[in-house]
């Protein structure tokens, strides 16, 4: 369970689109570097590695979806004018 401090920090991260993009790039680059391209593997072993690679990509994508659930849309508050 997340405490309030962690939840607040995740909201800050989720509301910073540039930060999210930068983090996503780092994860995407790393997962692409780990892509299974060893030609000496047999088809079964290569298939297992590729399936694990795709599963890792799905886990990362789901993590970003989870992270974005902390995003808070800040709409400008309507202020009441006493002059009216």
Structure confidence by residue, pLDDT tens digits, 9-51: 999 999 999 999 999 999 999 999 988 877 788 889 888 988 9
Structure confidence by residue, pLDDT tens digits, 45-75: 888 988 999 999 999 999 999 999 999 987 6
- Position 84 scores a pLDDT of 58
Where do the structural domains in the chain lie, given as residue ranges?
Answer: 1-22+45-70
DSSP assigned state of 16: -
- Position 2 scores a pLDDT of 82
């Amino acid at each position: 369970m997340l405490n309030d401090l962690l939840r607040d920090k995740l909201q800050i991260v989720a509301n910073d689109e540039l930060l999210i993009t930068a983090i996503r790039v780092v994860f995407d680059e790393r997962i692409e570097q780990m892509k299974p391209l060893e030609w000496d593997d047999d088809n079964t072993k290569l298939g297992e590695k590729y399936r694990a690679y795709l599963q890792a990509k799905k886990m990362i994508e789901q993590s970003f979806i989870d992270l974005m659930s902390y995003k808070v849309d800040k709409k400008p508050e309507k202020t009441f004018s006493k002059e009216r």
